[in-house]
Structure 1
Amino acid sequence: MSAVPEPAVRLEVHTREPFADGHRFAEAGAYEVVTATAHYAVDPQAPAHRAVPDLGLAPRDGTGLVRFSGDVEILRPVDGGRRRLFFDWGNRGNKRAVQYFCDAPHTNRPRTLADAGNGYLLRRGYTVVFGAWQGDLLPGDGRLLLDLPVAKHDGEPVRGLTTAEFIVEEPTGSLPLSRWSSTRSSPVSERGVHGARLTRRRYAHSRPEELPSGTWRFARVQGGGNDLKGRSTALVPSRHDLHLDDGFRPGWIYELTYEAEDPLVLGLGLVAVRDLVSHLRHDPGGPAGPVEYAYGWGRSQTGRAIRDFIHQGFNEDLEGRRVFDGLLPHVSGAGRLGVARFTNLTVPGGQQYEDHLSAADAFPFAYAETTDHLTGARDAIMKRASDPKVLHTQTSTEYWQRRGSLVHTTTDGQDLGFPPNVRGYLWSSSQHVADPTAGAPAQGICNHPENVVATSAFFRAVLDALDAWVSEGAEPPPSAVPTVADGTLVTAAEWSRQFPSVPGALPPQGPNELYAVDRSTVPPVADRSRGYTVLVPAVDTDGNETAGVRAPMVAVPLATYTGWNTRAPGQGHGALHEFSGSTFPFAATEDERLITGDPRPSVQRRHQDADGYTAAIRAAAEDLVARRFLLAEDVDRAVAAAAGWSSPRHRFELP
């Protein structure tokens, strides 16, 4: 008699408690919160796991399996809801779906009615699952943690060269090698302490200068607190930290090359998502209850994770069943995750000034099959029968910083489009992060106030469209992205001719380019003679983008809204800043416009009064409802947000 194979997941439930004191959310009723630990068992010899780097070096138990575990939290309707599982690919271990889909405050411990915001996901009856997938996070702030094995060679440490990049906004003496306090560093080996090399450069294109070994060390500062015992400081040797005697200078790009050891088997994070969601949807008596359809959403880092999950074939479980019926990658740009040895998963995808060493951008970039014109390789993100339906959403920022045009063009810049099971939408003139509860724009170390366009209502419409597509076969709205054919996707030179001469604006020289990279070297070397074509959305005479889906604020603008912002003096002046956009308000009156030389019509000329402005906002919102890019319930929200000239996002004093 053959032994019964061990399940891939065993769920250990810890607590069950009422959510929001038993509040009933429309027809879905009351919810509860379930906390658990998922225990995973993986066969390293299975063909499904060939894409997991270093899995063959992970420790095995007596049965030959690799074991690890992770945090799980489930927000579930007590009476079953609509049998739809919604998986939040937590960005860097943080729960984000309720925040963005429900206009709620961010919390990693949702328990109260206030934490549900407008309640959209709960009113729709979704079972919301938060599951840990990122294995290099450290405990703290309620993050979801995945406890992964360390790769070993016959019990001995695995070592290899790696590179870390550091940029600070304020003078700093010590930093973890990961650069992030939330993230495990790949420790330097004993041998690596003596052979490491540290350079710095002013701009990405500047020649690096090497810092003498006696001016820096692997160490951290301890002490310096306010209590009597902590006022003194000490420099403590540390294999996880880097210390500069004169401190890191703001705006400089520092690059450390060193021999690291003890890499985590990070690719198991994608296995964890596959096995957890498959387990929950096929266990009718489990904490997720009966599940008919499974959807997932991730933004930025986790949008890239979704694209890698599909590309690597993880949307098919060990029994050949589809895992997710539909996925919503948001603001991933053309990137994927990358889980090679010594990868730092917290590091964002590469930008013009920051994070050049990220392995996020590698062919294929597009969902549709195409050829890499530099190498001749042919591939696609979507290429399997098990692939889900996908609604890919991105903002203007992804075109400027994250090579977003390559999602729907060939690598040499020709229109490619999407396969039948994918739609793509540009959220016009908006930026990478749009906090649903944002107030007045901040400026930080940028030259311009950040982009204030509100886009959270789009999340709700997109999920409704995905659900209808999967469960009812109702086609979603056609893709709405800029194209070369209609002149709405252009080169940086053409965009520069289109963008108006806005007083005080310092536009970028161009988007974040992408070149062929030799990753066999440490650090990787980009070949600037062999590049991919990166294009950006065209703009109108106001400087707002002409293609895509325009939020009511963009359809009836009070400003020019861009997906880019430039760094201020002393911080890499003039280079694109991370994922920041800009807001350039129109002149309030014609007199102001004339004195400032602003070519854009004033607010006074555009709208008779504030009531006329809100009426125009309502008309724009109702048009989006008719096109299925906005829910009817969000029309009144858009109008309410427009009161007082959309204060505090805009401030105008009109006579």
Structure 2
Amino acid sequence: MSPVRLEIHSREPFAGGHRFTGTGAYEVITATAHYAVDPDAPAHRSVVDLGLAPRDSTGLVRFSGDVEILRPVDGGRRRLFFDWGNRGNKRAVQYFCDASHTNRPRTLADAGNGYLMRRGYTVVFGAWQGDLLPGDGRLLLDLPVATRGGQPVRGLTTAEFIVQEPTASLPLSRWANTRSSPVSEAGERTARLTRRRYPYSPPEEVPRTAWRFARVQGGGRDVQGQALAVVPSRGDLYVEGGLRPGWIHELTYEAEAPLVLGLGLVAVRDLVGHLRHDPSEPAGPVEYAYGWGRSQTGRAIRDFVHHGFNEDLDGRRVFDGLLPHVSGAGRLDTGRFANLTVPGGQQYEDHLNPADTFPFAYAESVDHLTGARDAVMKRASDPKVLHTQTSTEYWQRRGSLTHTTTDGRDLGFPPNVRGYLWSSSPHVADPVPAPPTKGVCNHLSNVVATSALFRAVLDALDAWVSEGVEPPPSAVPTVADGTLVTMAEWSRRFPAVPSALRPHGPSELPFVDRTRVPPVPDPTRRYTVLVPAVDADGNETAGVRAPMVAAPLGTHTGWNTRARGQGHGALHEFSGSTLPFAATEDERLITGDPRPSVRERYGDSAGYVAAIRAAAEDLVAGRLLLDEDVERAVRAAADWSAPRHHVDLA
């Protein structure tokens, strides 16, 4: 008996019945998946608190989640492509098809360039994150709460708050879209709030008279809502005068009623396994199943594999191939009172996130601090994996640890994994071009376009799985060839770019005592984190160089530094930088810029376009770009890649 029952709510034509080249028409199916899980099965041993979830009369734990399927009416190529929706949002069509983001893809415009449809994929969007709240069309998973003796489970937890402007109240989850772990009645009296300037600055106690568990209500423009009120709430933090911008506030409190969040990984296993093996379901028949996730969901993929969920209850492989993108070396935290929306730890934000724990690498390695031996990939059921990450992951997400030992030696990847650094590119690269901004940072955002690389990677994965064609060799920096270096060596090589505020260092990873709440880092015991080396322009030398990096108009970095008043000088979240070249030799000389000017490099816009074309064709030769994307890159380079860049040679 299948552990999943799919309840279909609607079917409707996609894109007005448009027939995509090579595939034909698509339809959209919306459904609810109903899950039934045996909490005593050995396969579920890693699911925290599953034994404390309510059971039905047969001893099973039941829950349900949203599902949406975008399928070719005539069957397509029998390939299922699962989008691990980032925080409940549908992202695969956006990134693989260069489309605008929408959680309700219905029109031809929503299909972008139609890549996934032209390739005949059945795209499945399935809810896996159980602590999301309704809104904006997010996919929701309805999970049980852990109880003991009929009472909600309680325990200490922490929440971190960083704001960019004075903010009076926030949910305890910090995110408006995410359920908070509510404070218990006793916790209201014993909770503690501190703040500190930088991650390792001494914490300052915030007097209890200055804050409480409450939320601000009102402040609207109509007569009834103009007045403000502070309303008691076990799910919100209120600070008199507001939380101070840029400071790190940390709340420690006794929470209650945790969700059994690990069931989200079980849901993916059971849904995809059910769809690919039951030909009566709308995705079937399925010959191969692939999955993709970026950032949070890239970490989810790594955790999914590490805990053995790529094997279903009948011993069959679930995914044949997986594409974790920009996960860095992290996995998930699905423990008691976890917050799945919170990003992986960075230098400044969420720097002690428990998602960053050994093992980091796909290949087996030894934790040199504890002696533990483990690997992300270690089972016969493991899929083929193409791991992609950007410069940002090396700076903020300990990306080097995916292919080095914990003490900084080259380790590489196992035979069923390839790794690729998308050189000098940012964590988030919206396929829809827009002018760069600074936000609360010192530099313009990184404008490198990389979405075309997704299409080449998926084609390579499909050929590897279905035809046995080896993908391009891994392209990551290494210690052996001098392209993976310490922060001191990186700093020595990085050019003296005018007005650039360099980072002091990448996001270090200390060993953390997680038996204490809040966790306590040990500054004397650290994992080695290395960064990619750069050329004379400051662009990274190793990895896959997108056309805008191979033919640059500036220095592109995976880091950006916080402006004054916002944690000045520290790395900011997952932001990258663009440091434009001088347009002309005169400008270069007056500013003291050591990097050759745009005119010196390309002469005119035609020279730049020619350089972009050559770079794109080189990538095609290495099977790292599709033929169809050469002309897209050339068209985007017109007018100096506006609006991403502005070059004035007048």
* TM-score (norm. length: structure 1): 0.99
- TM-superposed deviation, 1:294: 0.1
For 1:648 and 1:290, locate their aligned partners in 2 and report how far apart those are by CA, in whole Å. 44
Q: Deviations over 1:464-503 (max 9, x none)?
A: 0000000000000000000000000000000000000000
Correspondence for 1:313 among 308, 313, 328: 308
- TM-superposed deviation, 1:645: 1.0
1:442 aligns with 2:437: yes
Amino acid in structure 1 at the alignment position of 2:399: G
SS, match of residue 479 in structure 1? coil
- TM-superposed deviation, 1:289: 2.0
Find the counterpart in structure 2 of residue 433 from structure 1: 428
Correspondence for 1:393 among 345, 367, 388: 388
Superposition pairs of residues 369-518 of structure 1, within 5 angstroms: 369-518=364-513
Q: Deviations over 1:108-135 (max 9, x none)?
A: 0000000000000000000000000000
For 1:403 and 1:573, locate their aligned partners in 2 and report how far apart those are by CA, in whole Å. 22
- TM-superposed deviation, 1:356: 2.4
Contact 1:186 1:260 in 2 (8 A): yes
1:66 aligns with 2:61: yes
Amino acid in structure 2 at the alignment position of 1:616: A
Q: Which runs of 4+ in 1 moved over 4 A?
A: none
Q: Deviations over 1:27-68 (max 9, x none)?
A: 110000000000000000101000100000000000000000
Find the counterpart in structure 1 of residue 8 from structure 2: 13
Find the counterpart in structure 1 of residue 625 from structure 2: 630
For 1:275 and 1:184, locate their aligned partners in 2 and report how far apart those are by CA, in whole Å. 24
Contact 2:67 2:126 in 1 (8 A): yes
Find the counterpart in structure 1 of residue 18 from structure 2: 23
Superposition pairs of residues 27-106 of structure 1, within 5 angstroms: 27-106=22-101
Find the counterpart in structure 1 of residue 255 from structure 2: 260
SS, match of residue 223 in structure 2? coil
1:207 aligns with 2:207: no
- TM-superposed deviation, 1:541: 0.3
For 1:205 and 1:598, locate their aligned partners in 2 and report how far apart those are by CA, in whole Å. 35
Find the counterpart in structure 2 of residue 366 from structure 1: 361
Structure 1 vs Structure 2 CA RMSD: 0.5
SS, match of residue 259 in structure 1? strand
Contact 2:352 2:512 in 1 (8 A): no
- TM-superposed deviation, 1:430: 0.3
For 1:300 and 1:438, locate their aligned partners in 2 and report how far apart those are by CA, in whole Å. 20
Amino acid in structure 2 at the alignment position of 1:7: S
Find the counterpart in structure 2 of residue 651 from structure 1: 646
Q: Deviations over 1:239-266 (max 9, x none)?
A: 0000001111100000000000000000
For 2:227 and 2:594, locate their aligned partners in 1 and report how far apart those are by CA, in whole Å. 58
For 1:80 and 1:144, locate their aligned partners in 2 and report how far apart those are by CA, in whole Å. 25
- TM-superposed deviation, 1:446: 0.1
- TM-superposed deviation, 1:653: 1.1
Find the counterpart in structure 1 of residue 156 from structure 2: 161
Amino acid in structure 2 at the alignment position of 1:461: A
Contact 2:277 2:284 in 1 (8 A): no
SS, match of residue 619 in structure 2? helix
For 1:646 and 1:357, locate their aligned partners in 2 and report how far apart those are by CA, in whole Å. 39
SS, match of residue 258 in structure 1? strand
Amino acid in structure 2 at the alignment position of 1:221: V
Find the counterpart in structure 2 of residue 141 from structure 1: 136
Q: Deviations over 1:542-599 (max 9, x none)?
A: 0000000000010011100000000000000000000000000000000000000000
Contact 1:165 1:357 in 2 (8 A): no
Q: Deviations over 1:174-195 (max 9, x none)?
A: 0000000000000000000000
Unaligned runs of 5+ residues in structure 1 are: 1-5
SS, match of residue 229 in structure 1? helix
Find the counterpart in structure 2 of residue 553 from structure 1: 548
Correspondence for 1:607 among 595, 602, 609: 602
Percent of pairs with identical residues: 82
- TM-superposed deviation, 1:431: 0.6
Contact 2:54 2:147 in 1 (8 A): yes
* TM-score (norm. length: structure 2): 1.00
Contact 1:588 1:602 in 2 (8 A): yes
Find the counterpart in structure 1 of residue 234 from structure 2: 239
For 2:611 and 2:109, locate their aligned partners in 1 and report how far apart those are by CA, in whole Å. 31
- TM-superposed deviation, 1:616: 1.0
For 1:129 and 1:157, locate their aligned partners in 2 and report how far apart those are by CA, in whole Å. 34
Q: Deviations over 1:438-459 (max 9, x none)?
A: 3110110000000000000000
Contact 1:357 1:523 in 2 (8 A): no
- TM-superposed deviation, 1:606: 0.6
For 1:347 and 1:327, locate their aligned partners in 2 and report how far apart those are by CA, in whole Å. 23
Amino acid in structure 2 at the alignment position of 1:482: P
- TM-superposed deviation, 1:319: 0.2
For 2:567 and 2:493, locate their aligned partners in 1 and report how far apart those are by CA, in whole Å. 25
- TM-superposed deviation, 1:357: 3.7
- TM-superposed deviation, 1:229: 0.5
- TM-superposed deviation, 1:7: 2.2
Amino acid in structure 1 at the alignment position of 2:475: A
For 2:106 and 2:72, locate their aligned partners in 1 and report how far apart those are by CA, in whole Å. 14
1:109 aligns with 2:111: no
Find the counterpart in structure 1 of residue 569 from structure 2: 574
- TM-superposed deviation, 1:609: 1.1
Contact 1:201 1:208 in 2 (8 A): yes
Q: Deviations over 1:57-91 (max 9, x none)?
A: 00000000000000000000000000000000000
For 1:330 and 1:405, locate their aligned partners in 2 and report how far apart those are by CA, in whole Å. 14
Amino acid in structure 1 at the alignment position of 2:322: L
Find the counterpart in structure 2 of residue 175 from structure 1: 170
For 1:456 and 1:610, locate their aligned partners in 2 and report how far apart those are by CA, in whole Å. 23
SS, match of residue 29 in structure 1? coil
Unaligned runs of 5+ residues in structure 2 are: none
Amino acid in structure 1 at the alignment position of 2:613: R
